[in-house]
Amino acid sequence: MNALGAGTPDGGAGGDPPDQARLGQLAEEQAALRRVATLVAQATPPEEVFAAVVEEVGRLFRVELAILFRYEPGRTATSVAAWGPAAEDLPVSIRLPLEGRNLSTLVFETGRPARIDGYADSSSGPIGAAVRETGIRSAVGTPVIVEGSLWGVIFVGSTLEQPLPPDTEARLASFTELVATAVANAESRAALARLAEEQAAVRRVAVLVARATPPEQVLAAVAEEVGGLLAVDYTVLIRSDPQDMITVVGGWAAAGVGLPSPAGSRFELGGRNVSTLTLRTGQPARLDAYVDVTGSIGDTGAQGWGFRSSVGVPISVEGRPWGLILVAYTRDQQLPADTEARLASFTELVATAVANAESRAALARLAEEQAALRRVATLVAQGVPPVEIFSAVSDEVVRLFGAAKAAVLRFSHDGPAAVFVGVSKSLDLPVGTRWGFQPGMASAQVYRTRRSARVDAMDWSSASGPVAAAARRLGIVSSVASPIVVEGRLWGAMNITSTDELVPPGTEGRLENFTDLLATAIANAESRSELAASRRRIVAASDQARRRIGRDLHDGTQQRLVSLGLAARTAEADVAAGRGDPEAYLARIAAGLADAAAELQEFSRGIHPAILSERGLGPALRTLARRSAVPVDLEVTADARYPEPVEVAAYYVASEALANAMKHARASRIEMSLAMRQGSLLLSVRDDGIGGADPARGSGLAGLTDRVEALGGSIRLDSAAEAGTHITADLPLEYELAKGAG
């Protein structure tokens, strides 16, 4: 408030006594201040308060010009309100540089009230020139300080010759305080409103994120919200890609303007531009002067999009740099100083949306992977030939991993090499192609280490050789291979290559799920072919046995009987003729018949001993032992009846073992035992002979192995030289006859 008694140089009007005039002036001033204060208290928009203040001030000080300037970034000021006859020639809302000598510049530089009398002669600069045009001669300006910062200046100017009264500065100060309060209130209200608006925008985006909206929609929504909220001309969301590339993934342009580079556009990082600065430093970056930008992004921003001021803020997803959000003005203005801070609240939301989308994508990928694995597993279970499975799996992994090509390789051990046994449709290489291992082949590493391996382009960009050359020609940037291990043997590898992006980390582990299935398919196929071979051997052994039986019957017993028949007829002839010695013939015939009978007995016992089917394994083994030429110690602790195939198999193993001991081992003693162990019948035959029996030789035992294995059992032969021979057969009682495969 003004001190009473402050003089007014121009004196009162109409000859009132000076204190009367002062009192009137004071009352007028108080009324003006009260009116403005009321407006401020009513939360009138600042623009209205500004207009009221300049008018009140102008009338109160009886001047021709009252102006309120707001200071702007970059040493500029904008007139936000002006009053007075002289104001008509003054442009409002024009931003002018703070240069030369004038009140705005003086107050800006000193932060204190200032005065210029004789304005016409002692002012300069654009503001000075504009004010001078209005004919102002004396002017006083007072700073408007809002919460400690210089916000603007209010000044009054008179066209009269005499200077404004000396108390003008002090009186004006009361109004600047009111203006400051109005601005502070308005700013905090605006800040509140903006915060509310920002929160609403954030909430709308958050709802989208929570609803699992596809990320591209979320990104588009973020771009639009940010664009509207910050009132910029462009918002662009940019993802950073490997190898210094970036991709536009979303954007927004102020009404009616499309994105010059649509989503999906890719650029190479580098040069001086906001994207490169932001991504390289991991910090917000700003370019306000688009005169010295460089790089392909910079050129596009400056020329294609017409950027004049832009700000970028980095976005990290789960701790990893993901990309940035960029806003820009195309108008000739600088983005407000708080742009970086305001963008920051959206980057977290974008990060969450991306992270959610990624985890959903990971789930989807997992589901897809499971489906692919299930399809392959079905093929495996159906016993589809591995060759067909190999190509099917190659196509599945190409689809699943977004790889360019895939192949199943079988390792060849005669001169290390990989043979392509299955290829994806995208791989134009005939099945059967053989590649020697070369540096740069992931499969060569698998061959060496038996573990999954990865070769990225940068690891061998300088490698030489045909593989490296072919890979460069095909643009292969990454290649991953996982081993196929079939029952402990390194069988081969599955290999995938990509041409656009690096195969993502972790692919090795996922690929191994497929190689495990392939290993199962291969093992199944191998055991199927082993089974088929065993069946063929069983059939062949059976054919051979029949042939032997036929020949033995024909050559032995039948011949003997035929000869005996002839002898009988000879005897008959002799009896009829009454000559010779028929009795001797008859005696020989009788002896011959007895031999033939014994032969037949032996023979039928060989085919199937009656005692085995009549009395079981224990008695049959005892009979074998009794008849053996080499003494046998027999211990039977499992003397019951067992399934016929088990009894027959055990009997033949015992019979063959005894025969071998007798014929080949030169044994003097044989120990034979039959016992039960864990649901299996265990037959053991051990001799004290010379040992050294070769399981590969002697088809007798090989045939028996097939027979025993067909029952799910096993035969073991231990026959070190000079250590005797020990044959054991393990026959599960709950056997399952091998079923037909395929």
Output 558 or 601, the one with its CB closest to other proteins.
558
Going across the sheet that includes 149-158, the strands are: 95-97, 76-83, 65-72, 149-158, 138-146, 114-117
Output 530 or 555, the one with its CB closest to other proteins.
555
Smallest distance, other proteins to C-beta of residue 543, A: 19
Per CB under 8 A, 593 contacts other proteins: no
Give the burial class of 211: count Cβ atoms within 10 A of its Cβ; 0-12 exposed, 13-18 middle, 19 or more buried: exposed
Output 576 or 696, the one with its CB closest to other proteins.
576
Q: Show contacts with other proteins in window 274-313 (CB under 8 A).
A: none
Q: Which two tokens stand for residue 577?
A: 């003729």
Count of beta carbons in the 10 Å neighbourhood of residue 170: 16
Per CB under 8 A, 547 contacts other proteins: no
Can you list the positions of beta strands (E) in 604-644? Answer: 632-636
* Angle, in degrees to the nearest 10, between helices 168-210 and 339-381: 10
Q: Which two tokens stand for residue 208?
A: 């989208």
Output 580 or 631, the one with its CB closest to other proteins.
580
Output 65 or 571, the one with its CB closest to other proteins.
571
Rounded Cα distance between 386 and 421, Å, is 9
Can you list the positions of beta strands (E) in 242-368? Answer: 245-253, 266-268, 285-287, 309-317, 320-329
Output 549 or 562, the one with its CB closest to other proteins.
562
Select from 344-352, 410-418, 482-490, 554-562 the region that touches other proteins (CB under 8 A).
554-562
Smallest distance, other proteins to C-beta of residue 587, A: 14
Residues with Cβ < 8 Å from 341, sequence gap 6 or more? none
Smallest distance, other proteins to C-beta of residue 583, A: 15
Output 603 or 735, the one with its CB closest to other proteins.
603
Output 362 or 590, the one with its CB closest to other proteins.
590
Output 109 or 555, the one with its CB closest to other proteins.
555
Smallest distance, other proteins to C-beta of residue 544, A: 17
Dihedrals φ, ψ of 729, to 5°? -125, 130
The site for other proteins, by CB under 8 A, has a size of 18
Smallest distance, other proteins to C-beta of residue 610, A: 26
Output 490 or 553, the one with its CB closest to other proteins.
553
Q: Considering only residues 34, 112, 374, 554, which one is a binding residue for other proteins as defined by CB under 8 A?
A: 554
Rounded Cα distance between 102 and 419, Å, is 87
What letters, b where the CB count within 10 A reaches 16 and e where it falls short, cover 256-277?
eeebbbebebebebeeebbbbb
HEC-encoded secondary structure of 37-81: HHHHHCCCCHHHHHHHHHHHHHHHHCCCEEEEEEEECCCEEEEEE
Residue pair 420/515 in contact by the 8 Å Cβ criterion: no
Q: How many helices (H) and strands (E) does the chain have?
A: 21, 23
Rounded Cα distance between 646 and 650, Å, is 6
Smallest distance, other proteins to C-beta of residue 567, A: 5
Rounded Cα distance between 660 and 727, Å, is 11
Smallest distance, other proteins to C-beta of residue 512, A: 59
Output 94 or 566, the one with its CB closest to other proteins.
566
Q: Which two tokens stand for residue 14?
A: 């109409």
Q: Show contacts with other proteins in window 562-591 (CB under 8 A).
A: 562-567, 569-570, 573-574, 577, 580
In 3D space, the residue among 207, 268, 272 whose CA is nearest the CA of residue 238 turns out to be 268
Output 542 or 558, the one with its CB closest to other proteins.
558
In 3D space, the residue among 739, 672, 676 whose CA is nearest the CA of residue 710 turns out to be 739
Smallest distance, other proteins to C-beta of residue 551, A: 9
Per CB under 8 A, 33 contacts other proteins: no
Smallest distance, other proteins to C-beta of residue 571, A: 9
Give the burial class of 192: count Cβ atoms within 10 A of its Cβ; 0-12 exposed, 13-18 middle, 19 or more buried: exposed
User: Which is it for the CA torsion 704, 710, 711, 716, positive or negative?
Assistant: positive
Q: What kind and span of H or E run contains 421?
A: strand 417-423
Smallest distance, other proteins to C-beta of residue 545, A: 19
Per CB under 8 A, 559 contacts other proteins: yes
Smallest distance, other proteins to C-beta of residue 594, A: 15
Smallest distance, other proteins to C-beta of residue 697, A: 23
Rounded Cα distance between 67 and 102, Å, is 13
Q: What kind and span of H or E run contains 686?
A: strand 680-687
Smallest distance, other proteins to C-beta of residue 566, A: 4
Output 13 or 577, the one with its CB closest to other proteins.
577
Select from 137-145, 390-398, 553-561, 700-708 the region that touches other proteins (CB under 8 A).
553-561
Output 345 or 570, the one with its CB closest to other proteins.
570
Rounded Cα distance between 622 and 633, Å, is 10
Q: Print the binding letters for residues 468-507 with other proteins: x by CB under 8 A, - otherwise.
A: ----------------------------------------
Rounded Cα distance between 112 and 257, Å, is 46
Smallest distance, other proteins to C-beta of residue 382, A: 47
Select from 20-28, 559-567, 629-637, 697-705 the region that touches other proteins (CB under 8 A).
559-567
Select from 438-446, 540-548, 556-564, 677-685 the region that touches other proteins (CB under 8 A).
556-564
Residues with Cβ < 8 Å from 329, sequence gap 6 or more? 232, 233, 307, 308, 309, 310, 335
HEC-encoded secondary structure of 351-385: HHHHHHHHHHHHHHHHHHHHHHHHHHHHHHHCCCC
Q: Which two tokens stand for residue 496?
A: 């995938």
Smallest distance, other proteins to C-beta of residue 596, A: 11
DSSP state of 720: -
Output 536 or 554, the one with its CB closest to other proteins.
554
Residues with Cβ < 8 Å from 215, sequence gap 6 or more? 353, 354, 356, 357
Output 575 or 738, the one with its CB closest to other proteins.
575
Per CB under 8 A, 558 contacts other proteins: yes
Select from 13-21, 261-269, 436-444, 552-560 the region that touches other proteins (CB under 8 A).
552-560
CA 51 to chain centre: 61
Smallest distance, other proteins to C-beta of residue 598, A: 15
Smallest distance, other proteins to C-beta of residue 532, A: 33
CA 140 to chain centre: 69
Output 351 or 589, the one with its CB closest to other proteins.
589
Q: Considering only residues 454, 560, 622, 664, which one is a binding residue for other proteins as defined by CB under 8 A?
A: 560
Output 10 or 581, the one with its CB closest to other proteins.
581
Q: Which two tokens stand for residue 605?
A: 């016992």
Smallest distance, other proteins to C-beta of residue 588, A: 9
Select from 155-163, 293-301, 394-402, 551-559 the region that touches other proteins (CB under 8 A).
551-559
Q: Show contacts with other proteins in window 701-730 (CB under 8 A).
A: none
Rounded Cα distance between 429 and 449, Å, is 26
Q: Show contacts with other proteins in window 65-124 (CB under 8 A).
A: none
3-state secondary structure of 169: helix
Binding site for other proteins (CB under 8 A): 554-555, 558-560, 562-567, 569-570, 573-574, 577, 580, 592
